[in-house]
Amino acid sequence: MANTNAASKWYVCATPQNNNLTKSDYESLTWTLISKVGNVGETGKSTNVLTYNTWDTEVADKAKGITDAGSPTIECAREPDDAGQQILRDAAAVGNNNKYAFKEVRADGPLGGTGTVFYNRGIVAGPTRPNGGNEDFDLEVFTLGLVQEEIIVKPTSGGNPPVLTAAPAISGTAQAGETLTCSNGTFSGDATITYDFQWFANGVAVQGATANTVTLVAGDVGKVFMCRVTAHNAAGYAFGFSNTTSAVTAE
């Protein structure tokens, strides 16, 4: 399926990176989002094609020459206080020949997975400001002089979402002044699972009762309680309902 650039993101590392980086080097860096990116120029490498002909040449022989990692532009709707844009401005200061690392993350991954990641490294020049007329946006355009071939990381799978295998259970005494506790239940699924809780009294959600415990009050007398547990991981979510309590009694 073809994808667009929508929802893709660009990041920059504020710390200069003046030596070639590996994939693991890039992954260990601290990244800052560049906000309001509207247009990005051509990325990827171009390589000189060399030709040498001798007197007896019938078909020209060719060889690869020097490779240029590219000099794409990044156009942003100018935000003076945006941290990512400010890193670009600082990196572009006259005489600053430090190299900086960049990460582009495409929104082409499966649900719960990650999209394609492109890593690049180079100098920053600019910005230029297109200016324009009354209805033109206030823009800044930075040029990246890349000095290392980009590293491409393919999208990762979304994995398996949670699946309920054993329902949550409520423990405690259904009596005013007592505390009820709801277990997580058991959910299968990939990676780290987190849990959200919602308590119900007589089938109606109790406002603010979103912890795994609830303390019963006099106004709960006669009501029947139940808890819903929602399990989340990177691939999705699932939920399960606990058993119901007996009617809450007075202290």
> Do 97 and 127 reside in the same domain of the chain?
yes
Q: Which one has a higher pLDDT value, 114 or 146?
A: 146
Q: Is residue 37 part of a domain?
A: yes
> Do 36 and 125 reside in the same domain of the chain?
yes
Among 52-56, 97-101, 149-153, 190-194, the minimum mean pLDDT is found in: 190-194
Tens digit of pLDDT for each residue in 155-209?
A: 877 678 899 999 999 999 999 999 999 999 999 876 678 999 999 999 999 999 9
What would the mean pLDDT of 47-61 be, rounded to a whole number? 93
> Do 112 and 203 reside in the same domain of the chain?
no
Instruction: Give the domain CATH number at 180.
Output: 2.60.40.2700
Residue count (the chain): 251
Number of domains, the chain: 2
Q: Which one has a higher pLDDT value, 127 or 115?
A: 127
> Do 33 and 147 reside in the same domain of the chain?
yes
Do β-strands 46-52 and 61-68 pair in parallel, antiparallel, or remain unpaired?
Answer: antiparallel
Mean pLDDT taken over the chain: 93
Give the residue from 132, 102, 139, 98 showing the smallest Cα distance to 118.
Answer: 102
| pLDDT class of 236 with cuts at 50, 70, 90 | confident
> Do 149 and 216 reside in the same domain of the chain?
no
Q: Is residue 54 part of a domain?
A: no
- The whole-number pLDDT of residue 248 equals 96
- Residues whose CB is less than 8 angstroms from the CB of residue 170 and which lie 6 or more positions away in sequence, other chains included: 180, 181, 182, 183, 225, 226, 227, 242, 243, 244, 245
Residue pair 103/80 in contact (Cβ under 8 Å)? The answer is no
Instruction: Give the domain CATH number at 149.
Output: 4.10.410
Q: Is the pLDDT of residue 111 over 70?
A: no
The Cα 42–Cα 70 span in angstroms is 8
- The whole-number pLDDT of residue 237 equals 85
Give the residue from 248, 227, 247, 230 showing the smallest Cα distance to 239.
Answer: 230
Residue pair 106/156 in contact (Cβ under 8 Å)? The answer is no
- Residues whose CB is less than 8 angstroms from the CB of residue 238 and which lie 6 or more positions away in sequence, other chains included: 161, 162, 163, 164, 187, 189, 230, 231
| pLDDT class of 112 with cuts at 50, 70, 90 | low
- The whole-number pLDDT of residue 219 equals 95
The Cα 105–Cα 109 span in angstroms is 10
- CA of 199: how far to CAs of 25, 143, 167, 213, 225, in Å? 46, 54, 15, 9, 7
> Do 216 and 136 reside in the same domain of the chain?
no
Tens digit of pLDDT for each residue in 222-233?
A: 999 999 999 988
- Residues whose CB is less than 8 angstroms from the CB of residue 37 and which lie 6 or more positions away in sequence, other chains included: 9, 10, 74, 75, 76
Of 153, 176, 206, the domain-final residue:
153
> Do 35 and 72 reside in the same domain of the chain?
yes
Q: Is the pLDDT of residue 217 over 80?
A: yes
> Do 142 and 192 reside in the same domain of the chain?
no
Q: Give the range of the structural domain holding residue 21, as residue numbers without chain letter.
A: 9-48+61-153
- Residues whose CB is less than 8 angstroms from the CB of residue 129 and which lie 6 or more positions away in sequence, other chains included: 78, 138, 139, 140, 141
> Do 145 and 31 reside in the same domain of the chain?
yes
> Do 139 and 167 reside in the same domain of the chain?
no
Of 119, 153, 187, the domain-final residue:
153
What would the mean pLDDT of 129-150 be, rounded to a whole number? 96
Q: Is residue 87 part of a domain?
A: yes
Q: Is residue 98 part of a domain?
A: yes
Q: Is residue 249 part of a domain?
A: no
Give the type of residue at 214.
V
Q: Is residue 251 part of a domain?
A: no
What would the mean pLDDT of 209-222 be, rounded to a whole number? 96
The Cα 51–Cα 157 span in angstroms is 44
Q: Is residue 250 part of a domain?
A: no
Of 134, 153, 172, the domain-final residue:
153
Among 59-63, 112-116, 128-132, the minimum mean pLDDT is found in: 112-116
- The whole-number pLDDT of residue 114 equals 80
